[in-house]
């Protein structure tokens, strides 16, 4: 079994799931709620011992519905808390995520997604892109979405995720897949420079967190976190506030660019497909082809402006492991300025760089 | 007339009944004769007597009592329909020093949220659940609840609840009493002075076991819903004794004493 | 000697107090509050048992007893 014992901080050889667990604990996680589902089981298994060792609380919930509502409760109290699951379970969590968004409650949701629709399979898939970036639940709400491609990013992004959740008091989703979750890689288990402290996170929610009003001093008034706004015009005001927050979030956009300056064709891919595309591109560049890679690290906010800047005079090819989801956002971003091609890999398949070479060459023709 | 100078006892008078500061001053939105107001008062009295209101967190549910947070002077969080016990679990784990309670109706707790409720109880979460059983969905207009009596007419059982197609009323207090994590499970009624006084003790006990760390506290309160029963408040009040108590017997089904 | 105070703007006219009063001193007043509810009023003869207040869902009733009566 995975356990903290025997591993020293520094360099560790771990799966993406294990990197998530280490990253979460090192980033100050206090409460974890989860339910078994493949391919993310190492996260709850590991945190069931690791988190209590670090003074936190681990609950194996009765369902993903239970888990996300526990997250809502812990988030309302202003403590760093998270859930993890996979596609079907994330679908069950959507109601709670919508309530959290509507109530300004921070929390981190890890989706190591699987093939769908329905029970699908446990192979790699990026079929939850729409669900993650378009809100997923009911009503106009958005999650901040981070898409790691490596175990190292799984570790590093947990710090980013908690900071964003607390700065914006909003659900933050980590969207990975079976490749990211299960691939074992060396990870530098060192908190990223400038990591925010637990005290800093608490300062961000001091005027909102629920704790019993007595904890706030003698003159404190009771507080309420809610998403219901029935009075005429009240919900409109609430939605305007949320939209202004989402506009503010746009500055958090993150992406990676490789060899784009001389590129005739830029391949756009996220997560595990970004890695596979990079290998194919390296091979083709050695053969003299001017091809670049653009990898969004945040899927929401989406790096529209960066893509708009790159679009004139180039071709884009979106490679993703679904039936065409991120390509819609790329086409919206460039708005016809350059041709946007698409290559989809069917969910559940394991593809190597070899299988991406031909589709990339076709886009160059 | 109730002018402000009459709100306090006059010279040489002492109050034999007064409200406590944990109960908010705002008049409730509940219908005339609805028992939510009595249940609210009993909860507020327990919190007041225990002196814990300033570290109490209410988890509000969905239904007529969705706005319960307007009537208690405590910190509150709104839960999605049925999920109050899961939200309370998260709060309890995040704030071990707090007093946490849910206030849920029968649709919320015994139908959509029975899974979250039973599992929080079974884990022995140190929380208190106040369960209002009025045999009907109130907020949505009187549909069948899991607690609806056999033969009871609702807007979704126009000819009366039929056991062969809709099953029978769920007795949640008895179910709760079978779970290891439950420290107190009882059922009371709010239809008479005697019953309300018993209910006050049970509500208090459901908080006592939480605060003593003994486990999950559960109290079921049989309540009237004149509007959706299509009855005047006095007749509705009488229905609790004539129709409900025979199906939902009153009593303490489990009570764990401290060591 | 006891006295019942009905806070008329809180009263919803449900009459549970009238139904429960052992001394029969409560009754509809014929007056309506701003919510449109007919409010209750009390006659002389209250024994100070507070049954009405215990049953009132709207905490619209206060009961007071004269100090001498209370200590008797």
Please tell me if residue B226 touches chain C, with a CB cutoff of 8 Å: yes
| A30-55 tens-digit pLDDT | 999 999 999 999 999 999 999 999 99
Nearest CA in chain B to A67: B86
Please tell me if residue B113 touches chain C, with a CB cutoff of 8 Å: no
Q: Give the CA angle between residues B5, B10, B11 to the nearest 5°.
A: 140
Residue A215 in any domain: the answer is no
H or E segment at B248? none
pTM greater than the 0.90 cutoff: yes
Please tell me if residue B36 touches chain C, with a CB cutoff of 8 Å: yes
pLDDT at residue number B8: 61
Mean pLDDT of A185-203: 89
Residue A5 in any domain: the answer is no
Same domain, A150 and A291: no
Show which residues on chain C lie within 8 Å of chain B, measured between beta carbons: 2-3, 5-10, 12-16, 18-20, 37, 48, 50-51, 53-59, 61-68, 70
Q: Give the CA angle between residues A145, A151, A156 to the nearest 5°.
A: 55
Report how far residue B153's alpha carbon sits from residue B160's, in angstroms, rounded to the nearest whole number.
4
Distance from CA of B64 to the nearest CA of A (A): 13
Q: Give the CA angle between residues A123, A127, A130 to the nearest 5°.
A: 160
Residue B97 in this model has a pLDDT that exceeds 70: yes
Q: Which residues of C touch B189 (CB under 8 A)?
A: none
Q: What are the distances in angstroms from CA B227 to CA A317, B61, B146, B233, B235?
A: 62, 20, 18, 8, 11
Q: Name A108's bridge partners.
A: A82, A172
pLDDT at residue number B7: 54
Nearest CA in chain B to A33: B90
Residue A3 in this model has a pLDDT that exceeds 70: no
Residue B2 in this model has a pLDDT that exceeds 60: no
Same domain, A105 and A23: yes
DSSP category for residue B246: T
Distance from CA of B218 to the nearest CA of A (A): 19
Using CA atoms of C8, C9, C14, C17 in order, give the dihedral in degrees to the nearest 10: -40
Mean pLDDT of C58-68: 89
- The bridge status of strand C38-42 relative to strand C26-32 is antiparallel
Report the CATH number at residue A131. Answer: 3.40.50.970
Contact state of B86 with A74 under an 8 Å Cβ cutoff: no
Residue B208 in this model has a pLDDT that exceeds 60: yes
Contact state of A33 with B90 under an 8 Å Cβ cutoff: yes
Residue B176 in this model has a pLDDT that exceeds 90: yes
Helices (H), chain A: 16-26, 42-53, 64-76, 87-103, 129-133, 151-168, 178-182, 198-204, 234-249, 271-286, 304-310, 326-334, 354-364
Contact state of C64 with B37 under an 8 Å Cβ cutoff: no
Report how far residue A328's alpha carbon sits from residue A342's, in angstroms, rounded to the nearest whole number.
10
Residue A349 in any domain: the answer is yes
H or E segment at B107? helix B106-107
Mean pLDDT of A263-273: 98
Could you tell me the end-to-end alpha-carbon distance of chain B, in angstroms, rounded to an integer? Answer: 52
Which of C54, C63, C70 should we substitute to test contact with B (largest number of B Cβ atoms within 10 Å)?
A: C54
Distance from CA of A317 to the nearest CA of B (A): 42
Distance from CA of B190 to the nearest CA of A (A): 28
pLDDT averaged over every residue in chain A:
95
Report how far residue B83's alpha carbon sits from residue B116's, in angstroms, rounded to the nearest whole number.
6
| A91-130 tens-digit pLDDT | 999 999 999 999 999 999 999 999 999 999 999 999 999 9
Residue B11 in this model has a pLDDT that exceeds 90: no
Distance from CA of C40 to the nearest CA of B (A): 10
User: Considering chain A, what percentage of its residues have pLDDT values greater than 90?
Assistant: 94
Q: Which residues of C touch B15 (CB under 8 A)?
A: 62-64
For every residue of B171-238, DSSP letters joined together read: -HHHHHHTSTTEEEEEEEE-SSHHHHHHHHHHHHHHHHHHHTT--EEEEEEE---HHHHTS-HHHHHH
Assign B3 a pLDDT band (cuts: 50, 70, 90): very low
| HEC sequence for B65-100 | HHHHHHCECCEEEECCCCCHHHHHHHHHHHCCCCEE
Domain limits, chain C: 3-61
Report how far residue A21's alpha carbon sits from residue A154's, in angstroms, rounded to the nearest whole number.
9
Handedness of CA A187, A192, A196, A198 (dihedral sign): positive
Report how far residue A238's alpha carbon sits from residue A300's, in angstroms, rounded to the nearest whole number.
21
Please tell me if residue B59 touches chain A, with a CB cutoff of 8 Å: yes
Report how far residue B20's alpha carbon sits from residue B16's, in angstroms, rounded to the nearest whole number.
13
Residue B202 in this model has a pLDDT that exceeds 60: yes
Compute the radius of gyration of chain C from its Cα atoms: 12
Contact state of B94 with A224 under an 8 Å Cβ cutoff: no
User: Considering chain B, what percentage of its residues have pLDDT values greater than 70?
Assistant: 96
pLDDT at residue number A78: 97
Same domain, A170 and A282: no
Which of B7, B16, B223 should we substitute to test contact with C (largest number of C Cβ atoms within 10 Å)?
A: B16
- For chain A, how many structural domains are there in total? 2
Same domain, A111 and A188: yes
Does a cis peptide bond (omega within 30 degrees of 0) precede residue A301? yes
Assign C66 a pLDDT band (cuts: 50, 70, 90): confident
Q: Which residues of B touch A31 (CB under 8 A)?
A: 90, 93-94
Residue B180 in this model has a pLDDT that exceeds 80: yes
| B48-60 tens-digit pLDDT | 999 999 999 999 9
User: Is the CATH number 3.30.70.20 carried by domain C3-61?
Assistant: yes
Assign A197 a pLDDT band (cuts: 50, 70, 90): confident
Nearest CA in chain A to B112: A65
B55, B89, B99 member nearest A73 (Cβ): B89
Q: What are the distances in angstroms from CA A116 to CA A113, A119, A318, A343?
A: 9, 6, 20, 18
B60, B90, B99 member nearest A74 (Cβ): B90
DSSP category for residue B170: -
| B209-246 tens-digit pLDDT | 999 999 999 999 999 999 999 999 999 999 999 999 99
Residue B259 in this model has a pLDDT that exceeds 80: no
Largest CA distance in chain A: 73
| Nearest Cα to Cα of residue B68 among B136, B139, B124 | B139
Helices (H), C1-72: 16-20, 51-55, 67-71
Q: Name A149's bridge partners.
A: none
Which long-range contacts (C-beta less than 8 Å, at least 24 apart) are formed by A244-251? A245/A168, A245/A170, A246/A142, A248/A168, A249/A142, A249/A144, A249/A168, A249/A170, A249/A300, A249/A301, A250/A301, A251/A301
User: Considering chain B, what percentage of its residues have pLDDT values greater than 90?
Assistant: 92
Assign A144 a pLDDT band (cuts: 50, 70, 90): very high
Which domain covers residue A89, as residue numbers? 11-205
B2, B14, B32 member nearest C65 (Cβ): B14
Nearest CA in chain B to C9: B2
Q: Which residues of B touch A209 (CB under 8 A)?
A: none
Q: Which residues of A touch B68 (CB under 8 A)?
A: none
Residue B111 in this model has a pLDDT that exceeds 60: yes
A103, A213, A224 member nearest B54 (Cβ): A213
Residue pair B48/B21 in contact (Cβ under 8 Å)? The answer is yes
Residue A237 in any domain: the answer is no
DSSP category for residue B164: H
Residue B154 in this model has a pLDDT that exceeds 60: yes
Q: What are the distances in angstroms from CA B221 to CA B35, B104, B129, B200, C20?
A: 9, 10, 11, 10, 19
Report how far residue C65's alpha carbon sits from residue C72's, in angstroms, rounded to the nearest whole number.
11
Contact state of C58 with B226 under an 8 Å Cβ cutoff: no
Report how far residue B188's alpha carbon sits from residue B241's, in angstroms, rounded to the nearest whole number.
11
Using CA atoms of A87, A89, A94, A100 in order, give the dihedral in degrees to the nearest 10: -120
Which of B52, B67, B93 should we substitute to test contact with A (largest number of A Cβ atoms within 10 Å)?
A: B93
| A307-343 tens-digit pLDDT | 999 999 999 999 999 999 999 999 999 999 999 999 9
Conformational region of residue B41, where left means phi above 0, alpha means psi within -120 to 50, and beta covers everything else? alpha
DSSP category for residue B258: P
Q: What are the distances in angstroms from CA A268 to CA A113, A285, B1, B129, C60?
A: 20, 16, 76, 51, 67
Contact state of C57 with B30 under an 8 Å Cβ cutoff: yes
Same domain, A183 and A262: no
Same domain, A200 and A269: no
Same domain, A185 and A298: no
* A355 contact partners, CB below 8 Å, separation of at least 6: A345
Which of C19, C37, C59 should we substitute to test contact with B (largest number of B Cβ atoms within 10 Å)?
A: C59
How crowded is residue A308: how many other Cβ atoms within 10 Å of its Cβ?
14
Assign B5 a pLDDT band (cuts: 50, 70, 90): very low
Conformational region of residue A315, where left means phi above 0, alpha means psi within -120 to 50, and beta covers everything else? beta
pLDDT at residue number B26: 92
Residue C70 in this model has a pLDDT that exceeds 50: no
Mean pLDDT of A258-270: 97
Phi, psi of B55 (to 5 degrees): -125, 25
Report the CATH number at residue A297. Answer: 3.40.50.920
The number of helices, as runs of H, and strands, as runs of E, in chain B is 9, 10
Residue A173 in any domain: the answer is yes
Mean pLDDT of B128-135: 98
Distance from CA of A220 to the nearest CA of B (A): 9
Q: Which residues of A touch B73 (CB under 8 A)?
A: 222
A59, A95, A225 member nearest B77 (Cβ): A225
Q: What are the distances in angstroms from CA B17 to CA A160, A208, A228, C63?
A: 56, 36, 35, 5
Distance from CA of B10 to the nearest CA of C (A): 9
Contact state of B90 with A210 under an 8 Å Cβ cutoff: no
pLDDT at residue number C68: 62
> What residue ranges define each of the domains in chain B, with the CATH number in brackets?
29-255 (3.40.50.970)
């Amino acid at each position: 079994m995975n356990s903290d014992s025997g591993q020293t901080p520094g360099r560790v050889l771990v799966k993406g799931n294990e990197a998530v667990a280490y990253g979460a604990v090192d980033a100050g996680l206090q409460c974890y709620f989860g339910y078994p589902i493949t391919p993310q089981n190492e996260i709850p298994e590991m945190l069931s011992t690791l988190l209590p060792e670090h003074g936190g609380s681990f609950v194996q919930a009765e369902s993903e519905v239970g888990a996300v509502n526990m997250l809502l409760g812990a988030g309302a109290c202003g403590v760093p808390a998270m859930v993890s699951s996979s596609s079907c379970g994330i679908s069950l969590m959507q109601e709670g995520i919508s309530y959290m968004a509507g109530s300004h409650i921070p929390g981190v949701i890890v989706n190591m997604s699987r093939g769908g629709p329905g029970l699908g399979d446990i192979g790699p898939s990026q079929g939850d892109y729409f669900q993650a970036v378009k809100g997923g639940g009911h009503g106009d709400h958005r999650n901040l979405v981070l898409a790691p491609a490596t175990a190292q990013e799984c570790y590093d992004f947990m710090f980013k995720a908690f900071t964003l959740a607390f700065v914006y008091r909003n659900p933050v989703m980590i969207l990975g897949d079976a490749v990211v979750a299960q691939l074992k890689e060396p990870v530098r288990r060192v908190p990223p420079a400038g990591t925010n402290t637990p005290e800093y996170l608490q300062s961000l929610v001091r005027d909102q967190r629920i704790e019993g009003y007595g904890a706030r001093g003698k003159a404190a008034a009771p507080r309420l976190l809610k998403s219901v706004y029935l009075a005429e015009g009240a919900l409109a005001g609430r939605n305007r506030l949320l939209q202004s927050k989402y506009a503010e979030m746009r500055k958090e956009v993150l992406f990676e660019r490789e060899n784009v300056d001389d590129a005739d064709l830029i391949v756009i891919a996220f997560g595990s497909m970004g890695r596979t595309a990079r290998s194919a591109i390296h091979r083709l560049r050695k053969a003299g082809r001017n091809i670049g890679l653009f990898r969004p690290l945040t899927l929401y906010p989406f790096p529209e402006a960066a893509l708009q800047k790159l679009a004139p005079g180039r071709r884009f090819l979106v490679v993703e492991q679904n039936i065409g989801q991120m390509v819609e956002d790329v086409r919206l971003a460039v708005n016809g300025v350059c041709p946007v091609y698409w290559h989809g890999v069917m969910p559940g398949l394991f593809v190597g760089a070899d299988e991406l070479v031909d589709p990339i060459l076709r886009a160059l023709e | 007339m109730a002018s402000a100078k009459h709100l306090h006892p006059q010279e040489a008078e002492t109050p034999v009944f007064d409200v406590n500061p944990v109960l908010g001053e705002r008049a409730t939105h509940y219908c005339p004769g609805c028992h939510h107001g009595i249940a609210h008062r009993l909860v507020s009295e327990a919190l007041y007597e225990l002196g814990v209101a300033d570290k109490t967190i209410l988890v509000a549910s969905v239904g007529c009592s969705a706005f319960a947070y307007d009537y208690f002077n405590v910190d509150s969080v709104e839960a999605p329909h049925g999920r109050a016990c899961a939200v309370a679990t998260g709060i309890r784990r995040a704030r071990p020093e707090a007093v946490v309670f849910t206030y849920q109706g029968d649709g919320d707790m015994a139908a959509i949220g029975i899974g979250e409720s039973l599992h929080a109880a079974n884990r022995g979460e140190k929380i208190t659940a106040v369960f209002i059983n009025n045999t009907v969905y109130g907020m949505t207009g009187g549909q069948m609840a899991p607690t609806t009596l056999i033969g009871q007419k609702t807007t979704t059982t126009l000819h009366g609840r039929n056991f062969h197609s809709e099953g029978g009323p769920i007795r949640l207090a008895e179910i709760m009493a079978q779970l290891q994590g439950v420290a107190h499970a009882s059922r009371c009624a709010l239809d008479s002075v005697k019953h309300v006084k018993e209910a006050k003790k049970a509500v208090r006990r459901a908080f006592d076991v939480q605060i003593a760390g003994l486990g999950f506290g559960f109290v079921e309160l049989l309540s009237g819903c004149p509007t959706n029963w299509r009855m005047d408040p006095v007749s509705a009040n009488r229905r609790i004794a004539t129709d409900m108590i025979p199906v939902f017997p009153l009593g303490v089904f489990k009570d764990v004493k401290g060591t | 000697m006891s006295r019942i105070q009905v806070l008329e703007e809180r009263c919803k006219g449900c009459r549970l107090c009238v139904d429960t009063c052992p001394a029969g001193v409560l009754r509809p007043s014929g007056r309506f509050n701003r919510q449109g509810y007919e409010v209750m009023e009390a006659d002389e003869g209250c024994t100070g048992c507070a049954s009405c207040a215990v049953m009132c869902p709207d905490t619209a009733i206060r009961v007071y007893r004269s100090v001498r009566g209370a200590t008797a």
